């Protein structure tokens, strides 16, 4: 059902995690970003990078993706109005770096993000522990890997004439595909 609002909430939670990272930065900010994904796992709600590597139908995965994006967009618009100049500057730097990367760099960074998120969530649920999330999530953030839902916040808060272009759209499509590929590694190779 399209109006299953928990998927929308996942987008909001990831957007909040990205916003925390933009405000705090560094290792501490990356660890605090984990709040979003820990909340999603503990609330047992769906995130695109959590379902991309599962057996659910492809169209259901697409629906989760759309609702996650809408939730992140919703939160990002409001977060924009409370962002300090330093947060906007940091977001602009991140957004410009992301959209100016070559397609293969974007793809590789998105694949590795998918691998890390999928394994972190899988291990967290299997062991009923947040430790894999507290290690894995900062790992993908500090590595500069591309997460299709978190990047909505970076792109919205960091939108400039240089970052809002055809490259942004292309970047985002490649990011979604890369996350999908990475999230399926564990399932295919184990």
Domain residue ranges of the chain, discontinuous segments joined by +: 6-189
CA 158 to chain centre: 15
Confidence of residue 54 (pLDDT cuts 50, 70, 90): confident
Q: Measured between alpha carbons, how far is 162 from 171 in angstroms, rounded to an integer?
A: 13
pLDDT digits (tens, 9 = 90+) for 16-31: 999 999 999 999 999 9
Q: Whole-angstrom Cα distance, residue 106 to residue 174?
A: 7
- What band does 159 get if pLDDT is binned at 50, 70 and 90? confident
The residue-averaged pLDDT of 133-141 equals 96
The pTM (predicted TM-score) of the whole model is 0.92
Sequence-distant (≥ 6) Cβ neighbours of residue 131 within 8 angstroms = 124
Pick the closest to residue 87 from 154, 28, 35 (CA basis): 154
Whether the per-residue pLDDT at 116 is higher than 80: the answer is yes
HSE at residue 57, side-chain half, CA atoms within 13 A, is 3
pLDDT higher than 60, residue 132: yes
Superfamily of domain 6-189: Glycerol uptake facilitator protein. (1.20.1080.10)
* pLDDT (mean) for 142-149: 96
For the chain, what is the mean pLDDT? Answer: 93
By the 8 A CB rule, do 115 and 184 touch?
A: no
Question: What angle (nearest 5°) sits at the alpha carbon of residue 85, between those of residues 98 and 73?
Answer: 55
Report how far residue 96's alpha carbon sits from residue 90's, in angstroms, rounded to the nearest whole number. 10
- pLDDT, residue 174, reads 97
What letter would DSSP give residue 147?
Answer: -
Cβ-contact 114, 175 below 8 angstroms = no
Whether 3 shows a pLDDT value over 60: the answer reads no
């Amino acid at each position: 059902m399209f109006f299953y609002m928990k998927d929308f909430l996942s987008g909001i939670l990831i957007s909040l995690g990205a916003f925390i990272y933009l405000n705090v930065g560094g290792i501490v900010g990356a660890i605090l970003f984990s709040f979003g994904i820990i909340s999603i796992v503990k609330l047992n709600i769906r995130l695109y990078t959590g379902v991309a590597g599962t057996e659910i139908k492809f169209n259901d995965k697409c629906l989760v993706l759309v609702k996650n994006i809408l939730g992140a967009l919703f939160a990002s618009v409001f977060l924009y109005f409370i962002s300090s100049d330093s947060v906007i500057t940091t977001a602009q730097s991140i957004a410009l770096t992301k959209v100016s990367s070559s397609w293969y760099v974007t793809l590789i960074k998105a694949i590795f993000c998918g691998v890390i998120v999928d394994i972190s969530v899988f291990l967290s649920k299997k062991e009923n522990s947040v430790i894999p999330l507290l290690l894995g999530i900062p790992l993908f953030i500090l590595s500069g890997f591309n997460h299709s839902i978190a990047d909505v916040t970076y792109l919205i808060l960091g939108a400039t004439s240089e970052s809002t272009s055809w490259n942004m759209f292309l970047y985002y499509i490649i990011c979604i595909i890369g996350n999908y590929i990475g999230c399926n590694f564990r399932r295919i190779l184990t």
